[in-house]
């Protein structure tokens, strides 16, 4: 993967994705490795995303590298009307790798075409956020010891959730069965279901969370946002239907784990946090290992 930008999860083959997960495992057991001596990584966040940015910066710091960049574009030359192209060309002169988050869709692909150094997409609008997908795959592998033949439930906003779309598509490589739980107006788009059908895998759709609880190995929860509903009453009606609490875990499989891309609002009750089945904080931590793996393999150090 040396020198290879990661813009869209499909830029990496299944084998390349598995290789990243393997390297990440090495970082999990030994997170501080001084591999990035004298390397500079630029983190360009044209919109704030503290969680993602800190995870990348933590990864670089634990590797002994230096970080330059900005955490939102309001104080930069971008605000003065500088083009993305000019910003990227300039920063690629100053760094060995660019990590970029930008609300404009396709901006990361464009950046990778004008940059002299590889680019990692840390989110381009509603389009792609491939490092989230890799860390989700890593977390599933970590908890289930396999990615094959699993029953995975996705719960909440399946229509707009970019995280869900990418993970569903990535899991299509692993013979999973999909259990899709959402309000009718937030069902998984057919453009994503096409990928499931292409691989001749099974998916089932539900509106009641309780129906899937006994069936699945992974329960992937997501946030339902008020602004997705044209009718506020409809939001009030559905918002509590997709809340998980501790008592609901009684009817789940022994190996079942709850994941969430975070931040959560109230879709997972805090009483779930103590359960051995809660795995969403570990999931966020895994993001650091996966990003360490990605950065070092793109820079040809692993």
Partner 1 sequence: MVKELKVSALENGTVIDHIPSKSVFKVIKILNLENYENQILFGINLESKKFGTKGIIKVHNKYFKKEEINKIALVAPSATLITIKDFQIIEKTSLQIPNYIEGIVKCFNPNCITNIEKVVTKFNLVPDQEIKLRCHYCEKITGKNNLAFI
Residue 85 annotated in active site: no
Instruction: List C-alpha distances in Å: 19 to 114, 134, 215, 293.
Output: 27, 11, 30, 9
CA distance 62 to 51: 16
Instruction: List C-alpha distances in Å: 137 to 105, 141, 148, 152, 198.
Output: 24, 6, 11, 12, 20
C-beta of 6 vs 21, nearer to partner 1: 6
Contact call for residue 297 and partner 1 (CB under 8 A): no
CB 132 within 8 A of CB 121: no
97's enclosing H/E stretch is strand 97-102
At closest approach, how far in Å is the CB of 55 from partner 1?
24
Contact call for residue 110 and partner 1 (CB under 8 A): yes
Contact call for residue 270 and partner 1 (CB under 8 A): no
At closest approach, how far in Å is the CB of 16 from partner 1?
19
C-beta of 68 vs 104, nearer to partner 1: 104
Using the rule CB under 8 A, give the single segment among 12-20, 121-129, 208-216, 275-283 that binds partner 1: 121-129
Residue 260 annotated in active site: no
Residues 169-198 that bind partner 1 (CB under 8 A): 191
Contact call for residue 105 and partner 1 (CB under 8 A): yes
Contact call for residue 104 and partner 1 (CB under 8 A): yes
Contact call for residue 120 and partner 1 (CB under 8 A): no
Residue 80 annotated in active site: yes
CA distance 68 to 40: 7
CA distance 193 to 169: 9
Q: How many residues interact with partner 1 (rule CB under 8 A)? A: 17
Expressed in angstroms, the distance from the first to the final Cα of the chain is: 10
Residue 228 annotated in active site: no
C-beta of 31 vs 125, nearer to partner 1: 125
What are the structure tokens assigned to 286, written together? Answer: 């895994």
Contact call for residue 48 and partner 1 (CB under 8 A): no
Rounded to 5 degrees, what angle do the CA atoms 215, 285, 228 make?
60
| Among 13, 32, 77, 83, contact with partner 1 (rule: CB under 8 A) | 83
| Among 92, 107, 163, 292, contact with partner 1 (rule: CB under 8 A) | 107
At 58, give phi and psi (nearest 5°): -65, -40
Indicate which residues carry an active-site annotation: 51-52, 80, 101, 129
């Amino acid at each position: 993967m040396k020198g290879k930008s990661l813009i869209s999860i499909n830029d990496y083959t299944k084998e390349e994705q598995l290789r990243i997960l393997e390297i990440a495992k090495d970082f999990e057991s030994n997170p501080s490795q001084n591999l990035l001596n004298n390397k500079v990584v630029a983190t360009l966040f044209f919109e704030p995303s503290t969680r993602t940015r800190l995870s990348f910066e933590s990864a670089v710091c634990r590797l002994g590298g230096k970080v330059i960049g900005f955490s939102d574009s309001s104080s930069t030359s971008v605000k003065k009307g500088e083009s993305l192209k000019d910003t990227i060309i300039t920063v690629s002169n100053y760094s060995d790798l660019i990590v970029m988050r930008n609300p404009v869709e396709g901006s990361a692909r464009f950046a990778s075409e004008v940059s002299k150094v590889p680019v990692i997409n840390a989110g381009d609008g509603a389009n792609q956020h491939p490092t989230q997908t890799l860390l989700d795959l890593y977390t599933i592998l970590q908890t289930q010891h396999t990615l094959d033949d699993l029953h995975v439930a996705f719960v909440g906003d399946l229509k707009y959730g970019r995280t869900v779309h990418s993970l569903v598509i990535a899991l299509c490589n692993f013979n999973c069965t999909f259990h899709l739980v959402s309000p009718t107006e937030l069902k998984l788009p057919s453009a994503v279901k096409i990928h499931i059908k292409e691989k001749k895998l099974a998916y089932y759709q539900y509106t009641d969370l309780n129906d899937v609880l006994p069936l699945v190995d992974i329960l992937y929860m997501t946030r339902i946002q008020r602004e997705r509903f044209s009718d506020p009453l409809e939001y009030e009606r559905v918002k509590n239907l997709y809340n998980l609490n501790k008592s609901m875990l009684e009817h789940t499989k022994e190996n079942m784990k709850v994941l969430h891309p975070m931040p959560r609002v109230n879709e997972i009750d805090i009483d779930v946090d103590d359960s051995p089945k809660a795995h969403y904080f570990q999931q966020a931590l895994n993001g650091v290992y996966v990003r360490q793996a990605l950065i070092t393999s793109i820079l040809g150090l692993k």
